[in-house]
């Protein structure tokens, strides 16, 4: 299989305009003849549904939540980047483009990222027109803040709830199309399989989560906007329901999965407090502006932090990275915290935590100033831990947060399976090996509002494969497969809950395929994963029946997919013998820093499924830079 | 600590519900309320019993999925706190905790603690948006919006649509939810052109759904995990009155029947 990214020819800054002028269109009166399926109602899915509905297509939208407004985009805090240059501080589209490429450690596609930077300005215009209440200054104009990885202030925000406000904007735009009859919404519905007709994506199999009914949905094209797979680690900052099932099922039907090993670990989260813990909560990265990170110098020091004298504290980031100090980049800060905890110097219950101390900042600028800057975060911290961070240091620890990898897509956001489009975090396209803060919201909305409305028309105008009938044997067979899988799970009647397997695989992945990976740890994981999976199918117990609302069953189905997907993630991590971005292989470092290998690994690793337990085939899409020079990121 | 839970169990919308007594043993004070239920459920599953069904997703207080009346109060009654952010340190050994679903005619129970809040989606559908298509928006800074207006609109827009306001109200009124969305959009210059239409349609849909009337008690504000102010209800009433004065009521409201949006499978 030859991977063709279909990058348009011509100068970088003209590619998208040229492409838009050249691709095929569907006439307005004909659009209503086409049915489009969208799975997921986060920023990418909801904005795509709204835009395609406005154009006149028949859109069917599916989400597992009780309402489309609850997708996990809602939890994004910080903001959304756009190269508006409203601050007159030298921002340009090129600068946003370059920051994103560099932040991604030179593993993303030039043409895609440039388009993203171009569209960023339209997103802000669109959202303001929809009534998104962005922060404003006293003159009534839009305010900006600065964020990691850039030297300009280009981040637009709505308090600490930017994701919520952007999602409500696109949800409301979608509900307007529901009112106009162009979008049909199916909440509490899970996608369980993708259906192909003559090699093209033409439908899905869904389960109604209230009645358990399995049914087929046919369409002219299928869009997956189902988010990332951080929950493979069990504990992450993702919502409980976030899962890999939709994109993994597509992978099993032949869709290439690209760079699964590129996962992002966020350094400032509230640490795990016990076995019962269900998820981790992110604390904004901005805290590192005023907080100092430290652990006791001696392992096993259990004194109260306020009783540990200054000369027995190790401010390890300031020591190791004097010029960046506590503001070292995300991956560095995360790995350093892990190292000191591995040495037995971690703090708090379980010893997986480091202190983030504000006492010096309070002495320097006063408590009032700290309350003003971070008051809501200190409140949230106290609500969860019961500790007052004005009086004693916070405890923080890194946690899985975002996944850069996803289904492979070309410039049109179409997968190697024609008719299958993948948007937002679910695809691999724009963030390379590491995503910059405030760029996930930008990408989700660019894909949904401004890319897919054009590129899907080109596919529909050129395909010869019509929308099939759901009476087709392909649908019947896919339905049967799903029903059999559910029967198998319900009849296992073993001795362990599905969640216990999720916790087990999560811990295995976190310990061996998490922040620091080695050949040995990856091989350990690859040996263990099939064993856990085998025991799962033999020894799981699922309560209840299919024909009712059954959360245990819903969850078990998702866990079954994680148990398979984990193997793909580890295989990709083993194959990529270099350290870059969020992927750190301990064998490949120079003076403790990640060592990239551009000569051998400047490619997108796109994996093709060959059957469970068989090694997937690796297809390489070379990453070629025509306009930027690959460089080493330096932190010292 | 050891706790006695009295949990609402209901097989489906048409079955009769009842309170079941379940013992929760060795509960850690650091657990969140939902993690406590997770642990109880894990034990029920291993005993071959049906676990307690409850809604939750983000578990950080922003998605609005979690609900539950806890000892008669929505989300447990702690200021600015959703059920997922409520921690067990607020309870003590030997406590009995009564856990029920939201109680409202417009939120039918689907199972145990899970209710159907589709009525909220239908209210948004009736007018909770600004009619602007993708593309063609003018530059974002063309219309200045005063900081005060933007901040007030944001105060209203912070609503997470959980339904605690309805559950806390003796009348089962959804006025705070509807007022928050009407105010968010009606305050901003971008939302002005549809101001009258919006408030009429959203209120018409609210009434159709079977929510009760507002009698100015204010328990909704007290129960709201995002502390949305009841002043928005006053603002909505003012917008409603103005719309009627301007003759907006001569238009037939754009509402849908309660059944219309429910997804009927198989899908056509």
**Nearest CA distance, B165 vs chain A (angstrom):** 17
Write out pLDDT tens, residues B156-184: 999 999 999 999 999 999 999 999 999 99
Number of separate domains in chain B: 2
Q: Where are the alpha helices (DSSP H) in B213-259?
A: 219-223, 231-245
**Nearest CA distance, A160 vs chain B (angstrom):** 10
DSSP B32: B
Mutate to test the interface with B, among A131, A467, A541, A553 (most CBs of B within 10 A): A131
- Residue A72's alpha-carbon distances to A17, A112, B57, B61, B229, in angstroms, are 32, 24, 8, 12, 26
Topology annotation, domain A266-400: Flavocytochrome C3; Chain A, domain 1 (3.90.700)
Residue B193 neighbours by CB under 8 Å, 6+ apart: none
Contact A208 B265 (CB under 8 A): yes
pLDDT, residue B256, reads 81
Domain that holds residue B244: 118-250
- Among the candidates B44, B76, B111, a domain finishes at B111
Q: Could you tell me the pLDDT band of residue B259, with boundaries at 50, 70 and 90?
A: low
pLDDT, residue A322, reads 85
DSSP A236: S
- Among the candidates B111, B146, B167, a domain finishes at B111
The answer to whether residue A125 scores a pLDDT higher than 50 is yes
pLDDT, residue B101, reads 98
- Chain Cα centroid distance, residue B54: 15
Name every chain A residue with its beta carbon within 8 A of the beta carbon of B124: 69, 171-172, 175
**Is B144 inside a domain boundary?**
yes
**Is B42 inside a domain boundary?**
yes
Name every chain A residue with its beta carbon within 8 A of the beta carbon of B85: 383-384
Kindly state the percentage of chain A with pLDDT values over 70: 99
The whole-angstrom separation of Cα A485 and Cα A83 is 48
Name every chain B residue with its beta carbon within 8 A of the beta carbon of A500: 42
pLDDT, residue A379, reads 86
Angle at B236 between CA B234 and CA B241, to 5 degrees: 95
Bond preceding residue B266 cis, omega within 30 of 0 = yes
**Nearest CA distance, A365 vs chain B (angstrom):** 27
**Nearest CA distance, A70 vs chain B (angstrom):** 5
The whole-angstrom separation of Cα A165 and Cα A179 is 21
The whole-angstrom separation of Cα A486 and Cα A457 is 36
Question: Among candidates B133, B156, B262, B248, which has minimal Cα distance to B201?
Answer: B248
Residue A181 neighbours by CB under 8 Å, 6+ apart: none
Contact A173 B129 (CB under 8 A): yes
ipTM beyond 0.85?
yes
The whole-angstrom separation of Cα B133 and Cα B115 is 33
Tell me which residue in A66, A125, A159 faces B65 most closely, judged by beta carbons. Answer: A66
User: Which single residue is written with the structure tokens 């409520």?
Assistant: B86
- HSE toward the beta carbon, residue B194, CA cutoff 13 A: 19
Question: Among candidates A145, A227, A95, A224, which has minimal Cα distance to A438?
Answer: A145
**Is B265 inside a domain boundary?**
no
Would you call A352 a catalytic residue per the annotation? no
**Is B133 inside a domain boundary?**
yes
pLDDT, residue A326, reads 85
Write out pLDDT tens, residues B216-243: 999 999 999 999 999 999 999 999 999 9
The whole-angstrom separation of Cα A576 and Cα A451 is 30
Question: Among candidates A565, A560, A566, A558, which has minimal Cα distance to A510?
Answer: A566
The whole-angstrom separation of Cα B202 and Cα B220 is 19
Cβ pair A417, A249 in contact under 8 A: no
The whole-angstrom separation of Cα A436 and Cα A266 is 11
Q: Say if A541 is an interface residue toward chain B (CB within 8 Å).
A: yes
| Pick from A136-150, A346-360, A436-450, A515-529: least confident | A136-150
The whole-angstrom separation of Cα B195 and Cα A28 is 30
**Is B261 inside a domain boundary?**
no
Residue A136 neighbours by CB under 8 Å, 6+ apart: A142, A143, B144, B145, B146, B147, B150
The whole-angstrom separation of Cα A321 and Cα A413 is 39
Report the chain A residue with the minimal C-alpha distance to residue B255.
A179
Phi, psi of A163 (to 5 degrees): -60, -40
Q: Two tokens at A396?
A: 């923080």
In terms of domains, do B45 and B169 share one? no
In terms of domains, do B135 and B196 share one? yes
Q: Could you tell me the pLDDT band of residue A283, with boundaries at 50, 70 and 90?
A: confident
Q: What is the mean pLDDT of residues A452-457?
A: 98
In terms of domains, do B33 and B155 share one? no
In terms of domains, do B154 and B96 share one? no
In terms of domains, do B155 and B200 share one? yes
Equal fold, A266-400 vs A473-597: no
Q: Two tokens at A74?
A: 């809602």
Q: Two tokens at A566?
A: 């984990």
Cβ pair B179, B233 in contact under 8 A: yes
In terms of domains, do B130 and B230 share one? yes
Residue A1 neighbours by CB under 8 Å, 6+ apart: A416, A608, A619
**Is B154 inside a domain boundary?**
yes
Interfacial A residues in 180-209 facing B (CB < 8 Å): 184-189, 206, 208
Write out pLDDT tens, residues A171-206: 999 999 999 999 999 999 999 999 999 999 999 999
Write out pLDDT tens, residues A336-383: 999 899 999 999 988 999 999 999 999 999 998 888 778 878 988 988
| Pick from A481-495, A587-601, B25-39, B132-146: least confident | A587-601
The answer to whether residue B263 scores a pLDDT higher than 80 is no
The whole-angstrom separation of Cα A488 and Cα A361 is 58
CA dihedral (B174, B176, B182, B184) positive or negative: negative
Q: Could you tell me the pLDDT band of residue B119, with boundaries at 50, 70 and 90?
A: very high
**Is B257 inside a domain boundary?**
no
Kindly state the percentage of chain A with pLDDT values over 90: 85
Cβ pair B50, B199 in contact under 8 A: no
Cβ pair B113, B99 in contact under 8 A: yes
Contact A549 B45 (CB under 8 A): no
Q: Could you tell me the pLDDT band of residue A107, with boundaries at 50, 70 and 90?
A: very high
Q: Tell the burial category of B24 from Cβ atoms under 10 Å away from its Cβ (0-12, 13-18, 19+).
A: buried
Contact A216 B45 (CB under 8 A): no
Name every chain B residue with its beta carbon within 8 A of the beta carbon of A279: 59-60
Average pLDDT for chain A: 95
Q: From start to end of A351-445, where are the E strands?
A: 354-357, 394-403, 406-407, 420-422
pLDDT, residue A635, reads 63
Prediction pTM value: 0.96
Residue A324 neighbours by CB under 8 Å, 6+ apart: A317, A332, A635, A636
The answer to whether residue B265 scores a pLDDT higher than 50 is no
Total CB pairs under 8 A between chain A and B: 240
Q: Two tokens at A114?
A: 């440039």
Q: What is the end-to-end Cα distance of chain B in Å, rounded?
A: 52
Write out pLDDT tens, residues A559-568: 999 999 999 9
**Nearest CA distance, A357 vs chain B (angstrom):** 22
Q: From start to end of B65-207, where are the E strands?
A: 69-70, 73-74, 96-100, 109-111, 114-115
Contact A276 B153 (CB under 8 A): no
Every domain of chain A and the residues it spans: 266-400, 473-597
Contact B129 A176 (CB under 8 A): yes
Q: Which helix (H) or strand (E) element contains residue A191?
A: strand A189-197
Cβ pair B190, A128 in contact under 8 A: yes
Residue A286 neighbours by CB under 8 Å, 6+ apart: A78, A373, A374
Q: In what order do the strands lie in the sheet with B3-9?
A: B18-24, B3-9, B96-100, B69-70, B73-74
Q: What is the mean pLDDT of residues A12-17?
A: 97
Strands A420-422 and A221-224: parallel
**Beta-bridge partner residues of B97:** B5
Q: Say if A388 is an interface residue toward chain B (CB within 8 Å).
A: no
- Chain Cα centroid distance, residue A396: 21
Q: Which residue has the higher pLDDT, B169 or A150?
A: B169
| Pick from A163-172, A264-273, B68-77, B87-96: least confident | A264-273
DSSP string, A503-561: HHHHHHHHHHSSSSB-HHHHHHHHHHHHHHHHHHHHHEE--S-SSS--HHHHHHHHHHH
The whole-angstrom separation of Cα B161 and Cα A511 is 38
The CATH-assigned architecture of domain A473-597 is Up-down Bundle (1.20)
Cβ pair A567, A532 in contact under 8 A: no
The whole-angstrom separation of Cα A582 and Cα A576 is 12
Angle at A128 between CA A126 and CA A131, to 5 degrees: 115
Tell me which residue in B42, B59, B138 faces A279 most closely, judged by beta carbons. Answer: B59
Tell me which residue in A208, A239, A499 faces B63 most closely, judged by beta carbons. Answer: A239
Tell me, what CATH number does B96's domain have? Answer: 3.10.20.30
Tell me, what CATH number does B133's domain have? Answer: 1.10.1060.10
Catalytic, out of A69, A249, A330, A335: A330
CA dihedral (A71, A72, A78, A79) positive or negative: negative
The answer to whether residue B258 scores a pLDDT higher than 80 is no
Residue A123 neighbours by CB under 8 Å, 6+ apart: A80, A82, A442, A445, A446, A449, A450
**Is B124 inside a domain boundary?**
yes
The answer to whether residue A636 scores a pLDDT higher than 70 is no
């Amino acid at each position: 299989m030859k991977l063709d990214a279909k990058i348009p020819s011509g100068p970088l800054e003209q590619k998208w305009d040229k492409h838009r002028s050249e691709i095929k269109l569907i006439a307005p009166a004909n659009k209503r003849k086409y049915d489009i399926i969208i799975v997921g109602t986060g920023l990418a899915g909801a904005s795509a549904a709204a835009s395609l509905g406005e154009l006149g297509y028949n859109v069917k939208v599916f989400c597992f939540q009780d309402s489309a407004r609850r997708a996990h985009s809602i939890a994004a805090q910080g903001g959304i980047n756009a190269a508006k240059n409203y601050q007159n501080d030298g921002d340009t589209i090129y600068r946003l483009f370059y920051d994103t490429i560099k932040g991604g450690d030179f593993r993303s596609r030039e043409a895609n990222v440039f388009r993203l930077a171009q569209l960023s300005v339209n997103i802000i215009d669109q959202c303001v027109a929809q009534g998104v209440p962005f922060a404003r200054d006293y003159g009534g104009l839009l305010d900006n803040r600065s964020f990691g990885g850039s030297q300009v202030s280009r981040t637009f925000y709505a308090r600490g709830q930017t994701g919520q406000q952007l999602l409500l904007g696109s949800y409301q735009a979608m509900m307007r199309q529901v009112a106009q009859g162009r979008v049909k919404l199916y909440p509490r519905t899970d996608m369980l399989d993708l259906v192909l007709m003559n090699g093209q994506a033409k439908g899905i199999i869904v389960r109604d989560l209230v009645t358990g009914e399995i049914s087929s949905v046919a369409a002219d094209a299928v869009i997956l906007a189902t988010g990332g797979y951080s929950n493979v680690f069990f504990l992450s900052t993702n919502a409980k329901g976030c899962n890999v099932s939709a994109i993994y099922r597509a992978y099993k039907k032949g869709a290439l999965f690209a760079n699964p090993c590129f996962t992002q670990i966020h350094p400032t989260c509230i640490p795990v407090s016990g076995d019962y813990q269900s998820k981790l909560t992110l604390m904004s990265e901005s805290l590192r502006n005023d907080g100092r990170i430290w652990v006791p110098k001696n392992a096993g020091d259990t004194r109260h932090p306020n009783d540990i004298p200054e000369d027995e504290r190790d401010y390890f980031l300031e020591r190791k990275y004097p010029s960046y100090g506590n503001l070292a980049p995300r991956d560095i800060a995360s790995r350093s915290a892990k190292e000191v905890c591995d040495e037995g110097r971690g703090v708090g219950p379980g010893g997986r935590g480091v202190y983030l101390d504000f006492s010096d900042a309070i002495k320097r600028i006063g408590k009032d100033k700290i309350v003003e800057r971070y008051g809501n975060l200190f409140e949230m911290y106290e609500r969860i831990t019961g500790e007052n961070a004005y009086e004693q240091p916070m405890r923080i620890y890194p946690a899985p947060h975002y996944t850069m990898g996803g289904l492979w897509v070309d410039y049109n956001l179409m997968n190697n399976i024609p008719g299958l489009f993948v948007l937002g975090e679910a695809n691999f396209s724009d963030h390379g090996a590491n995503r910059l803060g405030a760029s996930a919201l930008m990408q989700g909305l660019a894909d949904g509002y401004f890319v897919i409305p054009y590129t899907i028309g080109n596919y529909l105008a050129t395909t010869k494969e019509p929308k099939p009938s759901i009476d087709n044997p392909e649908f019947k067979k896919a339905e049967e497969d799903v029903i059999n899988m559910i029967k198998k799970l319900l009849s296992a009647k073993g001795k362990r809950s599905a969640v216990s397997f999720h916790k087990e695989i999560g811990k295995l992945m976190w310990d061996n395929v998490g922040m620091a990976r080695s050949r040995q740890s990856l091989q350990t994981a690859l040996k263990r994963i099939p064993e856990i999976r085998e025991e799962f199918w033999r020894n799981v117990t699922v309560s209840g029946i299919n024909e009712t609302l059954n959360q245990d069953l819903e969850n078990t189905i998702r866990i079954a997919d994680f148990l398979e997907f984990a193997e793909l993630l580890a295989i990709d991590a083993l194959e990529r013998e270099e350290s870059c971005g969020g992927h750190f292989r301990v064998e490949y470092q120079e003076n403790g820093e990640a060592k990239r290998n551009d000569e051998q690994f400047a490619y997108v690793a796109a994996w093709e499924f060959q059957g469970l337990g068989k090694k997937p085939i690796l297809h390489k899409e070379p990453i070629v830079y025509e306009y930027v020079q690959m460089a080493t990121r330096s932190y010292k | 600590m050891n706790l006695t839970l009295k949990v609402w169990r209901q097989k489906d919308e048409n079955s009769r519900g009842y309170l079941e007594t379940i013992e929760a043993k060795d509960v850690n004070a650091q657990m969140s309320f939902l993690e406590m239920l997770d642990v109880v459920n894990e034990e029920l599953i291993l005993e071959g019993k049906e676990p307690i069904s409850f809604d939750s997703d983000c578990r950080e207080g922003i998605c609005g999925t979690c609900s539950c009346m806890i000892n008669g109060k929505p989300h447990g009654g702690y200021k600015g706190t959703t059920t997922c952010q409520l921690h067990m340190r607020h309870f003590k050994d030997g406590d009995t905790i009564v856990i029920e679903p939201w109680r409202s005619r417009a939120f039918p129970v689907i199972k145990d603690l899970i209710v159907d809040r589709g009525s909220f989606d239908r209210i948004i559908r009736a007018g909770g948006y600004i009619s602007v298509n993708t593309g063609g928006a003018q530059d974002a800074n063309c219309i200045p919006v005063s900081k005060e207006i933007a901040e007030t609109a944001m105060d209203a827009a912070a609503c997470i649509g959980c339904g605690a306001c309805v559950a806390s109200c003796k009348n089962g009124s959804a006025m705070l939810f509807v007022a928050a969305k009407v105010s968010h959009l009606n305050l901003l210059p971008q939302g002005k052109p549809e101001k009258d239409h919006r408030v009429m349609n959203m209120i018409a849909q609210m009434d159709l759904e079977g929510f009760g009337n507002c009698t100015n008690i204010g328990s909704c504000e007290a129960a709201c995990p995002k502390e949305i102010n009841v002043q928005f209800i006053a603002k909505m009433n003012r917008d409603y009155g103005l719309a009627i004065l301007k003759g907006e009521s001569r238009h037939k409201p754009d509402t849908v029947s309660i059944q219309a949006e429910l997804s009927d499978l198989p899908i056509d």
